[in-house]
Structure 1
Amino acid sequence: MEPVVTKSLPRQPGSPARPDARAGLMLAMATAGFAVTFWAWALLSPLGATLRDQLQLSSLQQAVLVAVPVIVGSLGRIPVGALTDRLGARRMFPVVALLTAVPVLYLGHGATSLTGYLVGGFFLGLGGTTFAIGIPFVNAWYPPRRRGLALGIFGAGMGGTAISAFSTVQLTKAFGHSFPFDVVAAVLAGYAVLAFFVLRDRPDRPHATGSLLGRLAMALRMPVTSQLSALYAVAFGGFVAFSVYLPTYLVTSFGLDRGDAALRTAGFVVLAVAMRPVGGWLSDRLDPVKLLVAVFAVVGVLALGAAFEPPLVPVGTALFLGLAGALGTGTGAVFALVARLVAPTEVGAVTGVVGAAGGLGGFFPPLVMGAVYSATGAYLLGFVLLAATAAGAGVLTATVIRRRAA
């Protein structure tokens, strides 16, 4: 059976008819920049338990310390995306990489108290904004029929958080507290220099006009912004929520030790990251609306299956790996829709808002799961709520988004 191909949108001004010879290099540079800044952005999370003991923090203080850079990075995507529409990634990537190196060095050498780490974590959040730089940059370099895969490959740079998860604690134990921060700062500085000489915005890319606040207000008023934000909050937010809370769930429900739970969670993260380009690639060849409807249906069904806590091996493992694959595919498909439904001059501003929604969407499920377990002693209701949320996202996609994409 031949794949169903979506109706092509008219070529928008600034949309290349075919890939430029430099597009692959630009995509590689953007993906590398996304990965190294996300590596920096995630430095504090693996050290949460260590810092709790070192600074004698309460559980709430530890949670706030880890959450600050994530919240700032998510919200910071909104102005950074709008600035990228105006200034271009050629300027924004090197500047953000260099500025991120400053709090990284401070956290490695200057922070000694909770207040110091909170201040450093606040500015470390800047590293989480580069998602909103890369999306409009890659979008401009690729024609519509290739954007899904290209944006999916760029999005796989979120695997920088996995680099931090795998390396930070080990490097700290082997070489001391400041070493991983020094390594990341050096990598950020090296990338900034390389990006300055190599990165180039597409010469015919559309340049946004108007004030920053005016353009942000316009993006927020666009119905497509809120609709795509809702979908990304479920897809990417679900990925973030599982990557944060899955270790706790595995320890609590199945009695795994923390090391085993962390390794299984790493497998979940790696699979989700790997499936993001697949979601973009499928969106280039199939109807991305139908793909997203299928993704949310799969998430709903698997969440209901997990609600009954089947044995971890093999059923539970299969359920969670299925969730990882579906959520990863969904994140790629959502931004394939952004490229199709948003004018090139607005991609940065809309990406900033949608990206912020995805990042913030990952905070509520762990809170809900914790509250549900505290109240009932089981996770059943939490997974049922996840299934209901996925069903709602599927309905939104099948109705409102389908009409908009027609």
Structure 2
Amino acid sequence: MAPIQTKNGTKAKDGGFWQAGHRPTLIAAFLYFDLAFMVWVLLGPLAPIIASDLGLTPAQKGLMVAVPTLAGAILRLVNGVLVDRIGPKRTGTIGQVIVIGGLTTAWALGINSYGGTLAVGVVLGFAGASFAVALPLASRWYPPEHQGKAMGIAGMGNSGTVLAALFAPVLAKLFGWNAVFGLAVIPLTAVLVYYQIAAKDSPSQPAPKPVTAYLAVLKERDAWWFMLFYGVTFGGFVGLSASLSIYFTDRFALTPVAAGYCTAAAVFAGSLVRPFGGALADKIGGIRTLTGVYALAGVTLVAISTAPASIVLTLALFLLVMATLGAGNGAVFQLVPQRFRSEIGVMTGLVGFGGGVGGFYLASSLGFAKQLTGSTSTGFLIFAGLAFVALVGLSIVKQRWRSTWGAALDGVRI
């Protein structure tokens, strides 16, 4: 087997996935990502309660839960550059300190206006930007044949959205929704301490480049394709994660706690499947995996747009589409390191930006569609159309990818 880089910088034979990289860093990346995602979507499960207290319109609710997604998308670009300039561990530390400080301030001062919720949303965007840190922090320790699994395990940290959906409404009922911001600081601080102890930057960290060099990757059309592909898979996942509590309370008159449980089930499905999506892409290729993902996701979103009267059927459709999109998230990041290994930091930021923009669009469009038409159906239909656009785009690039950079990879399927 091919030699790989070990945690102490020496060469070793690959004895399997768990021996191929640095396990403490992989665990630290997962925990950091998990807790960061928990607070990134915190406004989603709290939205029905906040909207009732502040008298928000459907459009305001949609924008409130979408702002953290947009802020996270923009900040991922910044983190992508910082990861390559100062390393992922240091970049992640800065982001965690900002989020902890921001949530502590929000809890201490109290949030009592719509503008205040938007300001909190911007702070939460720093948590969403963790994506551009956690994935390269973990992936740089692993050789190409294990990228899908490493990225999938680290990326499974998006399961933090399950924690937000499960516990935020319950804690808000017990202590008030402002107190939830302060309570979130407790696990965030614990993870920050572990992260400082366990996480290590890989010895294969690339040398820093001039900032202008990062713009060069935008000249590569493949970068734009990956941004589109992730804009659908991750954009759909995070957009729905932020919006489903509102959907279930508005559509079926569920309590915020019950809506949180339904949301948690759907989000758990998407999070659980992500590493399997990466592993499946390792086995059959990311292109084949994504072809199935976009076709199934598009069809399922069309079915959701019909607004089924049965809550059981509706929940089943959301479970299916979230699991499908979760597998797609893993598949996209099986491909990205193969094409852009030396620029993985900035590419993680760029592709994550595309995913964040997709999530912002979906969450905000559902709110505006509800206000303008009385139904969210139009929002779901348009996003289904984007899934089919991604499917067509994949068919356009797959032959070129396989015959160019894909052909140069030894034993790796794309």
TM-based fold match above 0.5? yes
Contact 1:69–1:121 (Cα < 8 Å) also in 2: yes
In structure 1, distance between residues paired with 2:261 and 2:200: 39
Whether the aligned pair in 2 keeps the contact of 1:108 and 1:177 (CA below 8 Å) is: no
For 2:185 and 2:297, how far apart are their aligned partners in 1? 38
Query: How far, CA to CA, are the matches of 2:156 and 2:322 in structure 1?
Result: 13
Match of 1:75 in 2: 74
The match for 2:100 is 101
Residue 3 of structure 1 aligns with which residue?
none
Unaligned runs of 5+ in 1: 1-10
* CA displacement, residues 71-119 of structure 1 (integer Å, 9 cap, x when unaligned): 2112100010111012112212222212211001001112344355444
Corresponding residue for residue 396 of structure 2:
399
Q: Which structure 2 residues correspond to residues 364-383 of structure 1 after superposition, within 5 A?
A: 364-369=361-366, 382-383=379-380
Name the counterpart of 2:201: 201
Distance 1:389 1:196, change over 3 A: same
Report what 2:233 is aligned to. Answer: 235
- 1:312 equivalent in structure 2: 310
2-structure distance, mates of 1:265, 1:144: 34
- Report the residue type matching 1:47 in the other structure: L
**Aligned AA (2:76):** R
Unaligned runs of 5+ in 2: 404-414
Q: In the superposition, relative to structure 1, how do residues 103 and 74 fare at CA in structure 2: closer, same or farther (>3 Å)?
A: same
Shift of 1:221: 2.5
DSSP-derived class of the 1:363 partner: helix
Report the counterpart of residue 154 of structure 1 in structure 2: 154
Give me the TM-score of the superposition, normalised by structure 1.
Answer: 0.85
Q: 1:398/1:30 Cα in 2 relative to 1: closer, same or farther (>3 Å)?
A: same
Q: Relative to structure 1, is the Cα distance of residues 311 and 111 closer, same or farther in structure 2, using a 3 angstrom cutoff?
A: closer
Q: Which residue of 2 aligns with 1:174?
A: 174
Residue 260 of structure 1: how far off its partner (Å)? 4.3
Q: Which residue of 2 aligns with 1:40?
A: 39
- Identical-pair percentage: 31
Counterparts of 1:303 and 1:51, CA distance in 2: 28
Do 1:288 and 1:337's aligned partners in 2 also have CA atoms closer than 8 Å?
yes
- How many aligned positions are there? 393
> Alignment partner of 1:265: what SS?
helix
| Offset, 1:308 | 4.4
Deviations 1:193-236 (A, max 9, x none): 3222221111133223112xx13422322212110010011111
* Amino acid in the other structure paired with 2:106: L
Distance 1:66 1:300 in 2: 23
How far residue 339 of structure 1 moved from its aligned partner, in angstroms, is 1.4
Q: Deviation of residue 44 (structure 1)?
A: 3.2
Q: Distance in 1 between matches of 2:206 and 2:269?
A: 35
Structure 1 293/100 Cα, relative in aligned 2: closer, same or farther at 3 Å?
A: same
Amino acid at match of 2:188: L
The letter for the 1-side match of 2:323 is: G
Deviation at 1:352, TM superposition (A): 0.7
Amino acid corresponding to residue 361 of structure 1 in structure 2:
G
Q: Which residue of 1 aligns with 2:406?
A: none
**Gap change, CA 1:299 and 1:68, over 3 Å in 2:** closer
1:315-347 per-residue CA deviation (whole Å, 9 max, x = no partner) reads 544433221221111111011111111132x11
* Counterpart-to-counterpart distance in 2, 1:63 and 1:106: 24
Distance 1:47 1:371 in 2: 19
Match of 1:282 in 2: 280
TM-score with structure 2 length normalisation?
0.83
CA change 1:316–1:191 in 2 (3 A) is closer
The one-letter amino acid paired with 1:27 is L
Q: Is the 8 A contact 2:48 2:246 kept in 1?
A: no
